[in-house]
Amino acid sequence: MKARVIDRADVLKIVDLLRERGYEVAAPFTGRGRDTFFEPVTDENRAKIELHLPNPYYPPKRYVLPPIERLLKVRSGNGELRIEPTCEEPKRAIFGIRSCDVAGIYHLDRFYLGRDYRDPYYEKRRRNLFLVNVVCTDPVRDLGDECFCVCADTGPAARDHFDLQLMDLGDEFLAAAGSPAGEQLFAEPIFKTGTPAHIERRRAILTDVRGRFKTNTSWFSATVRYITRSEVLEKTWEEIGRRCLECGGCTYVCPACTCFTVSDRETGPGEVERVRIWDSCALSGFTRMAGGFNPRRAVHDRRNRRFFRKLAHYFIQRELSMACMGCGRCTAVCHGDVGMASVVEMMRRETAVTEQHEPAAR
């Protein structure tokens, strides 16, 4: 992977370069308190872009999978029916996307563009998406109490699937190219060649940051095994079900959740649009069929479903990653403390107790 060095004062010039090349650039900003968000960069707000800030709860996933997206426009009249797909193909860059969310988008790629059918709406939004990953290095600003990418192996520094990765070394940033498009930027004079000392510095910072995560015992491997083998105890699922308030928050903040519902709405006389909307497996109506039969009624069945879908070995193999990126958002928004990190720990502990691995003493 090719890398260059860039002065701290020049880092936001990358945003300018991308805008000059015709990209609509989204970047992170801070609001009041913990509130942070991605927004399109304009001449007015460009100076307020934050390089270090708590990761926005609303994941940048929405740039490839909008919460509401129009699929079709349908006009009817005179016995005719005109069905017109409405794909958008923006040229967009996300500046300051965190490593966990880079992994999230790669996961979505595997899901929406893999297997038998490719999703054309996702594909068009993804085709011209340029990702500028900023590595979380500031233990106070970047790392939240809930962050646990070290457990999910997605961070703090993404290894691939970005176009450009920036890492704060103090007075300078190290820029690594993850794609030919990213490497092309290195022709710009703001990028300078580095020295082995820069790489050494990078290594030292990452080692330090890795040690500063507060959530660091959410060990997935045991839980993946228990879930895959259906060894998780029924009482554990029931406890998770009892704690779940069925708000659906975990799914709406998740960078790897993919489910959607489809709805038609009238937009004028004889004119209808069909949209898809993020949906949540936490909600009881998710599996309810016409006529009222619901094969998945109990809350704990639905929780079981979510964690199985995210962690079972079968799906990991199919999508080349777990459907958890360790961003910790679900932990942050969950009122019942059944976010991913807690659930992974809970399953590991409660299931391990019943294991008969100890040799008999007599």
Partner 1 sequence: MNPQPAENIYLPKTAVLDRVADDIAAVKTFFWHFEDAGEQARFKRFQPGQFAQVSLFGVGEFPASLPPSPTEGETFFTIREVGSCSAAMHRLRPGDRFGVRGPYGRGFPMDEYRDKNLVFVAGGIGLIPLRSCIVYAVQHRDHYRQIQVYYGARTPKELMYAADLREWQRTSGVECHLTVDRAGDGWAGHVGVVGSLFKRPGVRVPVEDTIAFVCGPPVMFRFVIRDLKALGFQDRHIVSTLERYMKCGVGKCGHCCIGMAYVCVDGPVFTYEQIHRLGEDI
Task: State the chain's maximal CA–CA distance in angstroms.
Answer: 87
C-beta of 123: minimal distance to partner 1 in Å?
6
C-beta of 353: minimal distance to partner 1 in Å?
23
SS3 sequence, 56-90?
CCCCHHHHCCCCEEEEEEEEEECCEEEEEECCCCC
| Rg from Cα positions in the chain | 22
Nearest residue (CB) to partner 1, 55 versus 258? 258
Nearest residue (CB) to partner 1, 46 versus 62? 62
Q: Which long-range contacts (CB under 8 A, 24 or more apart) does 309-313 make?
A: 309/281, 310/256, 310/340, 311/220, 311/223, 311/224, 311/227, 311/228, 311/344, 312/224, 312/227, 312/228, 313/224, 313/225, 313/228
Per the CB < 8 A criterion, the answer to whether 83 and 274 are in contact is no
Tokens 């949540």 -> residue: 280
- Distance from chain centroid for Cα 167: 20
- Distance from chain centroid for Cα 81: 38
Nearest residue (CB) to partner 1, 123 versus 239? 123
CB atoms within 10 A of CB 318: 13
Per the CB < 8 A criterion, the answer to whether 128 and 90 are in contact is yes
Nearest residue (CB) to partner 1, 42 versus 117? 117
Alpha helices in the chain (DSSP H): 13-20, 99-113, 120-127, 149-152, 180-184, 196-210, 220-228, 234-243, 249-253, 299-311, 313-319, 329-333, 340-353
C-beta of 330: minimal distance to partner 1 in Å?
17
C-beta of 72: minimal distance to partner 1 in Å?
7
C-beta of 259: minimal distance to partner 1 in Å?
3
The length of the chain is 362
C-beta of 183: minimal distance to partner 1 in Å?
17
The string over 233-251, giving b where at least 16 C-beta atoms fall within 10 Å of a residue's C-beta and e elsewhere, is eeebbbbbbebbeeebbbb
Tokens 């450009």 -> residue: 164
Nearest residue (CB) to partner 1, 3 versus 272? 272
Nearest residue (CB) to partner 1, 142 versus 279? 279
Nearest residue (CB) to partner 1, 168 versus 279? 279
The DSSP 8-state label assigned to residue 23 in this structure reads: P
C-beta of 285: minimal distance to partner 1 in Å?
9
C-beta of 88: minimal distance to partner 1 in Å?
13
Nearest residue (CB) to partner 1, 1 versus 83? 83
Site of interaction with partner 1 (CB under 8 A):
71-72, 74, 76, 79-81, 83, 85, 87, 109, 111-113, 115-121, 123-124, 126-127, 230, 258-266, 272, 274, 276, 279, 281, 286-291, 293, 295-296, 301, 305, 308-309, 312, 314-315
Nearest residue (CB) to partner 1, 81 versus 199? 81
C-beta of 138: minimal distance to partner 1 in Å?
33
